[in-house]
Every structure is written in C-alpha cells, then in structure tokens.
Chain A
Amino acid sequence: MNEKELLLQYKSTGSLDVLGKLYAPYMSLLYGVCFKYFQDAEQSQDAVMQIFEELITKLKTHEVDNFKSWLHVYTKNYCLMQLRRDKRRPQVDIEENLYESEQKLSDVDEVKWEERDFEKLEGCLQSLNAEQEQCVRLFYLEQKCYKDIADEMGLDLNKVKSAIQNGKRNLKMCMENKKNGK
C-alpha cells in the first residue's frame, strides 16, 4: 500500500495502526531534523513523538498531497515554534530556508531545457560570484564531494554546502530569466 492509500485509509478509519505505518519510515529522518534544531537527544525524541500526536488530528482534516515534504515542513515549523516557546532564539540560516522554499516551488513546474540553453549556462555560471561559481563547477561538473571541495578551496564544509545551494538557485534563476527573455 502506498502513502496515498495509507493517508486515505487513515482519514476514513482514524486507525493509529495505519498512521504508524505511514510515520515509522520517516522517524529516523525526523529525528535528525529535530536534532538539527534542538541539539538535544531527549528533546528530539520527544519532538518526534509529539509530532506524531499532532498528526493524529491534523491528518484527519488536512489534504496532504506530498506527505514527505509536508511532513518535513511541518516538522521544521514545529521545531521553530518549540524553540520560540522556549525563548531560545532560533538560529536559522535565512539563505538555507530561502533555498528550500524555492526548491518546493521549482518542483511544481519542470522546465524543459533545450540544447541551445546550455550555451547560456556558461554565461550564467560566470555571473555567479567566484566562490559559488567555483563550488558549483567542482560539484556538478567535476562531481566532487563537499569534503574534497572544502579541502581544495580551503573553505568550511558548511560554507561549501551553502555556496552550492545558493549557486544552484542563482543559476536556475539566471537560466529561467534568459529563457523567458528570449
């Protein structure tokens, strides 16, 4: 039974057994996400259980199309709310969140790229800042991992990650602008 069927079944029966089947596969990923925000094992475990409790009612009323990404966003929101409630100011990387929200948007309309579009790619690559351009080239074109790129460029691993994320985003925007502007 796939996720969609499980969701429908849960909606009609309200059986926790069904919800458990739907939820269990994501628990370890969810734990990781929660740990990213709380940096505390116990709090993260409780959060995973608490989110399950909230889903019991939420999934009865909400129309969920893509359970995985919905769950991810829900979990992030839960963690941020929790941190705000604890009066500990959450340190959220705005760049990263921007990247993720755009990620969702771009999932919706798959753009078809043609051969000549790739000529524009070079121009767009050069429009990125040096760090992003270098990282994107190394990652996408030379297929190197973050660690190698970090070593090669003498950068922090997280810096490499966000340079690639942001570079990818800027590149996409640049390409789409050129495509639409022709």
Chain B
Amino acid sequence: MENNYQLSRIHNYVHGLMSRDEMHALEREALDDPFLQDAIDGYRLQNGVDAKQLSLLQQRLATRVQEQSTSRNKRFYSWQRLAVGMAAGVMFMVVCTLLLIKYLPQNKMATEFTEVVVSESTYEYNITPNNNKNNVLPIGGWEILIDKLKSNYSNSEDFEGSLYITFKVDEHHKAYDISINGKDSVKFEELQDIIRNKIKWDGSEADIILDISKIGSYEDI
C-alpha cells in the first residue's frame, strides 16, 4: 500500500499536480533514496505512470508465482518416475541374479543326475517267470533283460512293486500282444517298448513277474 502511495506521488509529481511543499518533500526524500530518484527519473521519461501497464506486470508476476506449483509437481513427478524406474531396474537385476543363481546349480545337478542314471540304476529289478505258463526266455538269458532295464528304463512312472507281464512271441522272436498289470491306468509304454524292441525272445508265450524296488535316493548316491 505504501507502494501505491509512492506511485501516486510520483504520478502527481511528474504531472505537476503537487504543491511546492509536496514537491520539495518528495525531492528531499529522493535525495536520500536513490531507488526512488531513479524511478522518478524513469517515469518522467515515460511522461507519467501507466497504471494499466503496472497491473499487467503484477498479473505476470502472479502467473509466474502460480507456475511454480505446477512446475514443481512436474519436477516431482519426473523425479518420482526416475526413482520408480531405478527401483524397477534394481528389482529386475535382483530377479535376474536370483534366477541365475537358482538355474546354474540346478543345471549342474541335472547333468550329475543323468550321469547317475546312466552309470548306476536307481532301481533293482527281479524277474520271476511263472513256470506253469511261461515258456519264453530272452536270447542271452534273463540277465540281458535286467541289463536293458538298468540301462534303458527310466521308470518314469516311478513304480515300485510287482508287475505282471504277459505277451506272445512271433516267429521273428519278437514280443507282441504285451500286457502289463500293476498299476491302474498306467500303460508302461517304455517298458513295453523295451520288451518289444530291445529284446529277442525264444519261446511263444510269456508270463512273468517283474519286481521293481528302489535302491536309494539320488542324494545318497
């Protein structure tokens, strides 16, 4: 408000609307206040005070002050975004590292596991021919079948117990009409494949019991 008062004084002064005493007072004030003196000089050059101009200037300032909150928010958001981005990046790297740590040893374990299966069977096999009905014998003896089972049969069904196997043998020493009973709804296709394709048989009708038992867990090996 003091400011408006000064402004109207400057206005009156420049336009010669003041009394001599008032003029002298303002001049004296200006002598001690170079800021005021400069402003008076300026307004004198402009031939007076343009109030409209000045209120526009005040408006510009108000707009500028208001801008800060928006620009501040913008800056805040971009800062926030940056932080979120960085957090996401860090998280991603952590997850990657964890996956890597988890995957690498597993991979190692998997190969070890394969070796174990190949070199030493996890299961023990015992074959008991049903002497009343069975008249077949693998060419090379029952050991051949056990060897084949040990090296080729993974027992993906993880079966333990007794399997009742019957089949017929054709003139090419090949098994056909294979039926394996032991566990409901399990076909033992792998086992069938071994009997059909990996072994040649002597005889015509088979009726055998295959006992499968676990030797121990992988960790023990």
Residues of A with C-beta under 8 A to B50: 41
Residues of B with C-beta under 8 A to A143: 21, 24
Tell me whether B42 is interfacial, beta carbon within 8 Å: yes
Q: Chain A: interface secondary structure? A: helix
Tell me whether B99 is interfacial, beta carbon within 8 Å: no
* Contact A26/B3 with A36-B38, A168-B31 known, Cβ cut-off 8 Å: yes
Tell me whether B141 is interfacial, beta carbon within 8 Å: no
Residues of A with C-beta under 8 A to B31: 164-165, 168
Residues of B with C-beta under 8 A to A17: 65, 68
Tell me whether B49 is interfacial, beta carbon within 8 Å: yes
Contacts between chains A and B (CB distance < 8 A), count: 116
**Least Cβ distance of B113 to chain A in Å?**
64
User: What number of B residues sit within 8 Å (CB to CB) of A?
Assistant: 39
B68 engages A16 (CB within 8 Å): yes
By a beta-carbon cutoff of 8 Å, the part of chain B in contact with chain A is: 2-3, 6-7, 10, 16, 20-21, 23-24, 27-28, 31-32, 34-36, 38-43, 45-46, 49-50, 53-54, 56-58, 60-62, 64-65, 67-68
User: 8 smallest A-B Cβ distances: which pairs?
Assistant: A32-B39, A32-B42, A145-B23, A36-B42, A35-B42, A72-B35, A16-B68, A20-B65
30 A-B residue pairs with Cβ-Cβ distance under 8 Å, sorted by A, are A17-B65, A17-B68, A20-B61, A24-B61, A25-B3, A28-B3, A29-B35, A29-B38, A31-B54, A32-B42, A33-B35, A33-B42, A35-B45, A35-B46, A36-B45, A45-B57, A52-B64, A53-B64, A68-B35, A72-B34, A99-B34, A139-B24, A144-B24, A145-B20, A145-B23, A145-B24, A146-B27, A147-B20, A148-B20, A161-B27
